[in-house]
């Protein structure tokens, strides 16, 4: 047994030297690839935000009973200038740039529905989940609920430093809804 270890010792030393040499050569390449991928993602996020420009979005989804409420009471109550975006699937590749921008600015931790504000360089998100939770059970269209929801959204917007974005985008684009 000892003789086997003595015979394999040079082989182990050679293998260890090759592994160390490969690590020394490959580690900078791996770091370079990671850095390049991060830089590319940051550039994509920057380009997406520039294309989006100053914009206010309401991001909502159809999970956990929100669909009926959003379609019947939340969307009709949206103020002018706020565009609705339905998030149907988190892994939809058609909207990966928006999701990457959200991730870069800490938005994925927000509970839906949330208001998403872009000033062309940064994203800010504010969850409406808790303030709209009492109204969520109202699946039927109800103008009284819509007025309350609109008031909640306007109060939320009024408390934000980005209020001017909503007012300026209301002048430039009509209220519309899209879905991912």
Q: Which pLDDT score is estimated for 133?
A: 86
**So what's the pLDDT on residue 176?**
43
- 87 and 43 in a common domain: no
Percent of the chain with pLDDT over 70: 78
Q: Could you read off the pLDDT of 156-165 as tens digits, one per residue?
A: 777 765 555 5
Q: Are 81 and 173 in contact (CB under 8 A)?
A: yes
Check residue 104 and give its pLDDT.
72
120 & 139 share domain: yes
Residue 40's domain comprises: 1-52
Where would I find the H helices in the chain? 2-52, 66-69, 96-104, 129-132, 143-158, 163-172
Let me know whether 140 and 164 are in one domain: yes
Q: Do 81 and 162 fall within a single domain?
A: yes
* Domain total of the chain: 2
**Residue 70: what pLDDT?**
87
* Spatial CA neighbour of 58 closest among 109, 138, 126: 126
Give the per-residue pLDDT at 35: 94
Q: In 10 A of CB 118, how many CB atoms?
A: 25
Token couple for 166: 């909503």
pLDDT value at residue 180: 42
pTM, whole model, 2 decimals?
0.64
Q: What is the pLDDT of residue 138?
A: 76
CATH number for position 115? 3.40.30
Residue 61 sits in the same domain as residue 105: yes
pLDDT at 101 (0 to 100): 75
Identify the DSSP state of 159. Answer: T
**pLDDT given for residue 177 in this prediction:** 46
45 and 82: one domain?
no
The answer on 31 and 95 residing in a single domain is no
Q: Which of 55-59, 61-65, 130-134 has the highest mean pLDDT?
A: 130-134
Rounded to an integer, what is the distance from CA 171 to the centroid of its chain?
Answer: 26
Determine the Cα–Cα distance for residues 107 and 75; give it in Å rounded to an integer.
21
């Amino acid at each position: 047994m000892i003789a086997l270890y003595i015979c394999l010792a040079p082989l182990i030393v050679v293998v260890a030297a090759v592994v160390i040499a490969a690590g020394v050569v490959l580690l900078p390449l791996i770091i370079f690839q990671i850095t390049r991928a991060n830089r590319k993602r940051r550039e994509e996020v920057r380009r997406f935000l520039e294309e989006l420009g100053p914009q206010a979005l309401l991001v909502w989804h159809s999970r956990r009973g929100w669909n009926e409420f959003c379609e019947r009471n939340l969307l009709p109550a949206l103020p002018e200038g706020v565009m609705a975006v339905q998030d149907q699937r988190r892994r939809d590749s058609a909207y990966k740039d928006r999701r990457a921008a959200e991730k870069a600015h800490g938005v994925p931790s927000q509970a839906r529905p949330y208001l998403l504000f872009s000033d062309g360089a940064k994203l800010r998100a504010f969850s409406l989940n808790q303030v709209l939770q009492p109204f969520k059970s109202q699946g039927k269209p109800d103008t009284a609920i819509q007025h309350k929801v609109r008031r909640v959204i306007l109060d939320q917007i009024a408390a934000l430093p980005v209020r001017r974005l909503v007012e300026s985008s209301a002048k430039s684009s009509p209220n519309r809804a899209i879905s991912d």
